[in-house]
Amino acid sequence: MAARVIYPGTFDPITHGHSDLVQRAAALFEHVIVAIAANPPKAPTFALDERIEMARLALADIPGVEVCGFDKLLVDFAREREARVILRGLRAVSDFEYEFQLAGMNRRLASGIETLFLMPAEQYAYISSSLVREIAALGGDIAPFVHPRVMNALLARLRTGAGGNARKKDG
Ligand code: COA
């Protein structure tokens, strides 16, 4: 049985939906590695170190969780960290096609690594980081979707108008 699982994503920013998944994983595995991808093609709003810090704050109360950044192939990072299971969330059928492709390609690249899917709680099934950013930018209330410190960071970013990529380079 695998003792550790790696949960990769962009986490721009981490939401309650992500945290819900981490909580579920922490109940199944001794060690959960939340692996935050630099992911320059996605042009994240927050720089990698900011996303790491926000995730650490949001997940501080869940035992057995480690947050780190990575800037390489996910399967190489998983091997490096000796994780044989990749965790991904499935919120709706619409996630399936992309996840199917990702899991298939990762299996092709590293046959010894399995992808495991968990579903977040129903109330988080429709959350995404970009929707949260859009709601905040348009003055909506994001308190139900993110940790208070993440909300403050997002509101501060909107006030200053600086993008993570514009201000700081990821990586
Ligand atoms: N709750 C809430 N939102 C969730 C969620 C959950 N449980 N699960 C996913 N999401 C949302 C995210 O907020 C994000 O929303 P957004 O697109 O609006 O920002 C979206 O679903 C998908 O994001 P995420 O789960 O972070 O995945 P991603 O698609 O950004 O990440 C990587 C993909 C990082 C795993 C992938 O690009 C990767 O492995 N990169 C490393 C390089 C590599 O190995 N590439 C080859 C892969 S074969």
Atom 20 of ligand 1, nearest CA residue? 128
Helix axes 148-160, 129-137, angle to 10 degrees: 50
Q: What is the pLDDT of residue 169?
A: 34
The answer, as to whether pTM is greater than 0.85, is yes
- Provide the pLDDT for residue 168: 41
91 is catalytic: yes
**Closest ligand 1 atom, residue 132 Cα:** 18
Catalytic entry in 16, 18, 51, 147: 18
Ligand 1 proximity of 110 Cβ (cutoff 6 Å): no
- List 36's β-bridge partners, or say none: 9, 69
- Using the Cα atoms of residue 77, residue 63, residue 13 and residue 126 in order, give the sign of their dihedral: positive
pLDDT in tens, the chain (171 residues): 679 999 999 999 999 999 999 999 999 999 999 999 999 999 999 999 999 999 999 999 999 999 999 999 999 999 999 999 999 999 988 899 999 999 999 999 999 999 999 999 999 999 999 999 999 999 999 999 999 999 999 999 988 876 555 344 333
36 neighbors 68 (Cβ within 8 angstroms) = yes
| Alpha-carbon dihedral sign for residues 28, 31, 36, 37 | negative
Extract the tokens encoding 11.
């986490």
Residue 41: cis peptide before it, omega within 30 degrees of 0: no
pLDDT recorded at residue 167 = 41
Domains in the chain with CATH codes? 4-127 (3.40.50.620)
Residue 32 CB less than 6 A away from ligand 1: no
How many Å lie between the centroid of ligand 1 and the Cα of residue 75? 15
Question: Residue 122: its pLDDT value, please?
Answer: 94
Rg of the Cα trace of the chain?
A: 16
Tell me the helices (H) and strands (E) count for the chain, helix number first.
7, 5
Q: Is 101 in the pocket of ligand 1 (CB under 6 A)?
A: no
**pLDDT at residue 141, rounded to an integer:** 97
